[in-house]
Amino acid sequence: MELYRDETILLEEESGSVFITVFKSGMTFVKLDRTLQALPQISITKFLPLKDALSAGYCEKLEIGEIKPPVDLEISRDSMTVKIRINCTEQHLKENLKSIKAEIRNMLEARGICEGILEHVIDHELKVQKDITVAAGTEAVDGQDAQLIYFQPSERKPSIKEDGKADFFDMHFLDEVDKGDWLGEKHDPTDGLPGRTIFGEILHPKKGKDRKLLYDAKTVMEYEEDGVIVLRALVKGVVEKKGNRIAVGDHLVVNGDVGLETGNIDFNGNITIKGIIMEGFSVTADKDISILGAMGLSGVESVTSRNGDIFIKGGAFGKGKTKIRAAKNIFIKHANECTLQAGENIMIAYYSVGCFLIAKNVMAHEKKGKLIGGVIEAKGKVVAGIVGNHLERKTMIHVEGFNRASIETELAGLVPEYDMATLHAERYAQQISSYESVLDQLNEQQKNQYALTKSNYEKELDKLNELDQKRTSLLSLLETKGEGEVTVGVTAYPETVIQIKSMIKRIHSTSHGTFYATGNILHHE
């Protein structure tokens, strides 16, 4: 059957093969390509003989290709999609639309495709020489993992409004709960939704992973309520974290002042003092201490948190003798002539005058905060709006600094240790779940093993918490500019001495900006 003829070539079809006869030169590959655009049913498969024939300008009947089927159908390897390609002209499609639609449906049926046929595409969106998806399976939807929701403790993050007023010092430092209060809940994992291939085969979803609620069994209990596992406090106290577990910590509330009526206080939990600490008295706690009296402290002996934070809403007048020490952070409105020592950060809202401040970082507000006189010692950075004063009171700032590469190496070294502890914790959790599924059937030896597994599990959680705290501490150092930083947002007055590592900068005229060290070089910008 003749497909195309002009003065240079003849294209014919016989038994599904395509032949060319070249009468004379003049037909190029470019011209032939334009000709074949009107003959989309032709597929050239023998390019080299065709090229030789066109170059020679003459040949007898030569096989160069084949006739494509009216409709090509392709099934994806995963049996999830079917694509077709219609090999004809727009005119042919328009004139034979009904029969082509029928042919497509017959091809789908013949191949056993019964799921996800896109009828609207077949009826209204057919185009020539385009890959068209005419059937699509339904993907399985994997189940969701168990959702764990916990009570979120108040964030201990100071901030100062633009007008200079502190809103941080109205924060809720300790979160008190009563017996029976909600502390968390668990929503079980879901099964997911099955899918189907284009052949109707069922695709099974992955069920969501179960997860255990982590809590201190001595102070928190789980209950089933309307199909949801709910955590509630067993005792009155303050919400805290023990490792990754939620717990209720012991809480001593002093409704008035600490003084003659109470004597000095040393408590193994958290302390909230709603008044103040009278002069000459001391307060010590294993955990957090919150002092809410608006008048603050004056001439107290000491305030010490062995393992937690200290929050002093009203500030402190030390009279040269008060010592405030926290294993973690100190948050204070203002400090006068006292010693503040923190394992992590000292956060000052307004000012420090004549104090000895020791911490990893000492942070006052970059615009409003003042560090006037005294000695400030930090590991990473010191930030304030004003350092010294117009009377040129001598103010010493010493930043020990650090080696950034060493900190990064130490941080990287925590990763395998953390991964190993996580793996151990997950294994213990699986073993605990296995024991708990047959708890009433355990013999004495198995009960002892169950108790040991729970103990080991809690040890791994504690280890994870320690590693996480260490990671957070190292990351806070890496947030420092260079390898030691002092930032003065507004003014550093004369008689301010800034030392970072072994490098010293004496301020002789008012200055501001960021001083930082890289190696043995001190920068100022």
CA angle 4, 6, 10 (to 5 degrees): 50
Of the candidates 151, 81, 153, the one whose C-alpha atom is nearest the C-alpha of residue 121 is 81
- CA dist., res. 208 & res. 187, Å (int): 11
pLDDT tens digits along 310-323: 999 889 999 999 99
Overall average pLDDT of the 425-434 stretch: 86
Q: Is the pLDDT of residue 160 over 70?
A: no
Element at 486 (helix H, strand E):
strand 485-492
Q: How confident is the model at residue 172 (pLDDT cuts 50, 70, 90)?
A: low
Helix (H) or strand (E) holding 402: none
Label each residue of 488-501 as H, E or C.
EEEEECCCEEEEEC
* pLDDT at residue 511 tops 80: yes
Percent of the chain scored above 70 by pLDDT?
A: 97
What's the average model confidence in pLDDT over 504-524?
93
Q: Tell whether the model's pLDDT for residue 171 goes beyond 80.
A: no
With H, G, I as helix, E, B as strand and everything else as coil, classify residue 282: strand
Q: Per the structure block, which two tokens stand in for 66?
A: 């084949």
What's the average model confidence in pLDDT over 103-132? 93
- Read off φ and ψ for residue 435, nearest 5 degrees: -60, -45
Given a contact cutoff of 8 angstroms between Cβ atoms, the answer to whether 360 and 339 are in contact is no
Closest CA to 291 of 254, 325, 320, 327: 254
Backbone angles phi, psi at 285, to 5 degrees: -145, 155
For 215-250, what is each residue's pLDDT tens digit?
Answer: 988 899 999 999 899 999 999 999 988 767 899 999
Per-residue pLDDT band for 137 (boundaries 50, 70, 90) equals: very high
Q: Please tell me whether residue 4 adopts helix, strand or coil conformation.
A: strand
Please answer whether residues 209 and 323 qualify as being in contact, where contact means their C-beta atoms are separated by less than 8 angstroms.
no
Residue 361: Cβ-neighbour burial (10 angstroms; 0-12, 13-18, 19+): buried
The pLDDT value given to residue 485: 95
pLDDT of residue 154: 79
| Higher pLDDT among residues 372 and 212, named by residue | 372
Q: Tell me how far apart the alpha carbons of residues 67 and 428 are, in angstroms, rounded to a whole number.
A: 66
Task: Convert the pLDDT of each residue in 28-38 to its tens digit.
Answer: 777 887 888 77
Least confident of 168-182, 291-305, 415-429: 168-182
Q: In the predicted model, what is the mean pLDDT of the chain?
A: 90
Least trusted range by pLDDT, from 122-131, 224-233, 459-468, 505-514: 459-468
Mean pLDDT to the nearest integer, 171-199: 90
Can you give the pLDDT at residue 60?
A: 84
Question: How far apart are the C-alpha atoms of 304 and 326, rounded to whole Å?
Answer: 6
3-state secondary structure string, 122-146?
HHHCCCECCCEEEEECECCEECCCC
Residue 99: the pLDDT is 92
Identify which of 134, 38, 149 has the alpha carbon closest to the alpha carbon of residue 85.
134
Please choose, from the candidates 273, 312, 288, the residue with its C-alpha nearest in 3D space to the C-alpha of residue 169.
312
pLDDT, position 314: 86
Q: Which residue has the tokens 């503040």?
A: 340
pLDDT of residue 455: 87
Q: What CA–CA distances, in Å, run from 417 to 257, 303, 408? A: 46, 35, 15
Tens-place pLDDT, residues 354-385: 999 999 999 998 888 999 999 999 999 999 99
| Percent with pLDDT over 90 in the chain | 60
Quickly state the pLDDT bin for 157 (edges 50, 70, 90). low
Structure tokens at 460: 């791994």
Task: Indicate the pTM of the whole model.
Answer: 0.69
Res. 161: pLDDT tops 60: no
Residues 386-423 as b/e (b if ≥16 CB within 10 A, e otherwise) read bbbbeeebebebbbebbebeebeeebeeeeeebeebee
For residue 166, pLDDT over 50 is answered with: no
How far is Cα 47 from Cα 1, in angstroms, rounded to an integer? Answer: 21
